[in-house]
Structure 1
């Protein structure tokens, strides 16, 4: 666990930076220093760093205090409102022409900003550029490179799946982000995918086959709030379908629901319905009538998806029954 940064390796703060690096942080005091070091090692140095502490209950504030006092980072603190709200707070504070988001447990390759800034400067018609990611673990061991998509990212592209694992893979023009209002804070777990869709409707976004992020895989990546995720993805899909022309709406609906099934899967959804009621309070509760309506509507509007869910649940029930019968037979012997 790193607890401090060698101040000699940190670039001076910029008055008018080209890039604003925005890092929301929550409960990652053991990772944030490594994340910041990957930013300070960038070969492109015309940037500011804005760290938004989203009400983290650990020692993050004390850990970052020396960097904030020296002006190496701009430190902002708020009560816990979620990652999307923290990113929006950073966007409101940003002075740069481009925005680069980075999660507080991920790392950047040294040339990430250099090649992305160069691309946007050479292509003024492009609003955002993204790259692939390298999967790493807590020991920062190198893993496989992942490129979910390559080419121009359109609204139809997004309906087939999220083109990026994390916003940390992208560089976005500040003006475009502010014009579309930043992240939708009501779409927990789906706010980044929603952002790509809204950018694609307004401007050109490109994904290139070049590594832009070292994405850390750990237990917290896999959210246990599967039902909450499903409900917010349904809300996102419904809002997106209202924004596209009627002639492509049916095709996009099909794309979305096939992707939704592949992404969550019937076994995960069924397990969450049965065992995961405690995290789902108030408007995210499975007992909420609106939530039940959303789930049922998503199945009805996509019959193939509905059948896949039903088949998965029925298969799971049959397997459980067979396991019980085998246990009963053994107990009688």
Structure 2
């Protein structure tokens, strides 16, 4: 690897991203270390996003692939298996990179490899910017073996900050296409089983979060989260203690309970809480009782509306 110049392919899944894809591609042209190829996978868009990609003038090859809507896992896999570069860098169609993103990640990879580390994935810090003006920093720093951490939570700061050796992705057959949510955490966990994961400790990409974002549509993606829980426990449940399994299930459900609560979708809050309670009585005290408080509030609002 050190004797050959590594190459990078950026993989961008696109679904109705006409408002942002131009800025996303612009951020690639501003890289101090430009990508060798960009593959955009149109996942059944009905807007002008694909045409914007066709018309974009770039200093690197841009390949547009198109498919019927199958979700981001399928779209990213199309990019992975149509690429031939050393590295795959993922970028969502509503996110942008800092100009030094690729340069700094490749420099860290070369340094670590020279020191004998078997690195599978490198990420960076992420700044999420919400359409209502809120900002949220994701700054979990990794520096080696992190498989155990993924048993508790997804410690990757954001998919758009990930740089992975393509041979690693091919060895694991890419993302699980049966999932349309949390498919990234499952793949990152599988990578962490066998390879090291490291972080460039700087904010090197911006994540845009709007009403069309997956995480802003909890009712659509909650069934996929339940499917993720099932798949994850089938693969890793035996490595966890009973208490760890309970915590894993409750934490994943609580993520959606909180999302429904923020949106005032009280019937869904009640449904998720009862799912959690059916799994364990510890739901009552989980996360300092926050799910229980949200449930009580949702029940009260529902009764008030009924009366």
TM-score range normalised by the length of the shorter chain: 0.7 to 0.9
Flag the 1:248–1:144 CA change in 2: closer, same or farther, 3 A. closer
- Structure 1 residue aligned with 2:93: 104
Of the three residues 43, 62, 65, the one matched with 2:54 is 65
What's the TM-score, normalizing by structure 2? 0.81
User: RMSD value over aligned CA atoms?
Assistant: 3.4
- Structure 2 residue aligned with 1:219: 211
Q: Deviations over 1:253-312 (max 9, x none)?
A: 134134224422268279658479xxxxxxxxx9xxxxx9xx84x644433126765664
Structure 1 runs (4+) deviating above 6 angstroms are 68-71
- Alpha-carbon distance in 2 for matches of 1:315, 1:273: 8
Flag the 1:197–1:247 CA change in 2: closer, same or farther, 3 A. closer
- Structure 2 residue aligned with 1:178: 170
Q: Deviations over 1:45-97 (max 9, x none)?
A: 25211111112111223222234899731121112111111100000111210
Report if the CA contact (8 A) 2:130-2:209 is conserved.
Answer: yes
Flag the 1:300–1:79 CA change in 2: closer, same or farther, 3 A. same
Of the three residues 305, 308, 320, the one matched with 2:283 is 305
- Alpha-carbon distance in 2 for matches of 1:59, 1:245: 44
Larger radius of gyration: 1
How far did residue 115 of structure 1 move?
A: 0.9
- Alpha-carbon distance in 1 for matches of 2:304, 2:266: 21
Q: How many residues align?
A: 292
- Alpha-carbon distance in 2 for matches of 1:82, 1:119: 32
Report if the CA contact (8 A) 1:134-1:142 is conserved.
Answer: no
- Alpha-carbon distance in 1 for matches of 2:67, 2:214: 25
Of the three residues 196, 219, 231, the one matched with 2:223 is 231
- Structure 1 residue aligned with 2:182: 190
- Mark the runs of 5 or more structure 2 residues left unpaired by the alignment: none
Q: Deviations over 1:1-38 (max 9, x none)?
A: xxxxxxxxxxxxxxx97001011111111211110010
What's the TM-score, normalizing by structure 1? 0.75
Q: Deviations over 1:167-224 (max 9, x none)?
A: 1111101001111111111111111111111111222212342223111122223646
- Structure 2 residue aligned with 1:318: 300
Report if the CA contact (8 A) 1:28-1:60 is conserved.
Answer: yes
- Alpha-carbon distance in 2 for matches of 1:303, 1:227: 24
SS of the equivalent of 1:30 reads coil
Higher mean C-alpha deviation, range 240-249 or range 177-186: 240-249
